[in-house]
Amino acid sequence: MNEQHVEYQEKVLRAPNGLGILLLNIVLMLAAVAGIVFSAMQLSANGSSGGMVALLVVCIFYWCLPCWLLFAGIKVLGPNEALVLTLFGTYVGTLKGEGIFFVNPFCTSVNPAAQSASEAALTHLSKEENPSSGKIVKAAAMSKKLSLKTMTLNNDKQKINDLLGNPIVIGIAVIWHIEDTAKAVFAVDNYQEFLSIQSDAALRNTVRLYPYDVSEGGDEKSLRGSSQEIAGVLAEEIQKRVECAGLRIEEARITTLAYAPEIAAAMLQRQQASAVVDARKMIVEGAVGMVEMALDELNRKQVVELDDERKAQMVSNLMVVLCAGKDAQPVVNSGSIY
């Protein structure tokens, strides 16, 4: 038999203000206590009376059950918080907005992420044998509220091969928030773990499409030189993967980018050699310009007449002086240049 997959859509629940019901319930509880005391005193003083017995039974019944049910229906939400409510396993709606509300007391709130986090915390505390902290975690785990705030996901750094096969270490930060609470709770088992896994998968697929650095003379995108474009591609890739979970990716940024330790030293030498070559090219271009300017000035001012052989020797000397890595040692010639 084929099972039909049900896709839930968020339904905002319009619940009445719970402050009035809370105050009314407190007043009725006090009245029930007064009724119990009054009826007990009348029964002990005047004997059995049908009216007093009925009053005593009603007050005791209200104190034992209805007043606590009314308290169970009171829900308090802060800014950017929500409650996904189910009634006997059926999704009834999502409670949003800050304030105090009253809902069906038999409704239960659902948040698989909070349950998983509390179980992990309890497991960690059980190993540390800290009972007092365990009670605090259990109390915190009872809160099933979903946070609608913008949150940041920082996964561990990964070692991934780039387009050229070079292993690199890369880490990202994902800015996200819950857009559809029903999908986040019912479509996946744990939306936080789902986001973490899908972010890692999207990062691997994206990194394999680009080199770490652009090749010499190339104009293709690279992880180091095109961080803005790569961040946009990465955010789109993650968004496609988590759309089914009702999550919205606001931004994805690369926080760590480096060669893996096993090739870092070799790549550093390569970068240093490339920098030296680029510097030498610049020096040669400048030296050629200076030599050309010196010859033009000598000819223009007619300081000295040089034949082709002497010009070649002068150019050679100037190039050696200008391109040398050390200061030149002058040689004074007091005789004729011929």
Query: What is the pTM for the complete model shown?
Result: 0.68
d(CA 219, CA 231): 18
Lowest average pLDDT, out of 76-80, 264-268, 310-314, goes to: 264-268
The three state secondary structure string of 53-102 is HHHHHHHHHHHHCHHHHHHHCEEEECCCEEEEEEECCEEEEEEECCEEEE
Q: What pLDDT sits at residue 133?
A: 44
Q: Among 80-89, 137-146, 289-298, name the most confident range.
A: 80-89
d(CA 126, CA 147): 27
What percent of the chain lies above the pLDDT cut of 90?
14
Q: Among 182-196, 272-286, 319-333, name the most confident range.
A: 182-196
Tens of pLDDT, residue by residue over 172-212, are 999 999 999 999 998 888 899 999 999 999 999 988 888 88
Tens of pLDDT, residue by residue over 6-16, are 667 888 888 88
Tens of pLDDT, residue by residue over 106-156, are 888 888 877 665 554 444 444 454 544 444 444 444 468 888 999 999 888
The three state secondary structure string of the chain is CCCCCCCCCCCECCCCECHHHHHHHHHHHHHHHHHHHHHHHHHHHHCCCHHHHHHHHHHHHHHHCHHHHHHHCEEEECCCEEEEEEECCEEEEEEECCEEEECCCCCEECCHHHHHHHHHHHHHHHHHCCHHHHHHHHHHHCCCCEECCCEEEECCCEEEECCCCCEEEEEEEEEEEECCHHHHHHCCCCHHHHHHHHHHHHHHHHHCCCCCCCCCCCCCCCCCCCHHHHHHHHHHHHHHHHHHHCEEEEEEEEEEEEECHHHHHHHHHHHHHHHHHHHHHHHHHHHHHHHHHHHHHHHHHCCCCCCHHHHHHHHHHHHHHHHCCCCCCCCCCCCCCC
d(CA 38, CA 32): 10
Residue 234, CA distances (Å) to 169, 196, 200, 209, 220 in order: 16, 14, 10, 11, 17
Lowest average pLDDT, out of 90-94, 114-118, 122-126, 240-244, goes to: 122-126
Residue 250 pLDDT grade (very low, low, confident, very high; cuts 50, 70, 90): very high
Question: CA dihedral in degrees (115, 120, 126, 127; nearest 10)?
Answer: 180
For residue 82, give the nearest of 113, 38, 57 by alpha carbon: 113
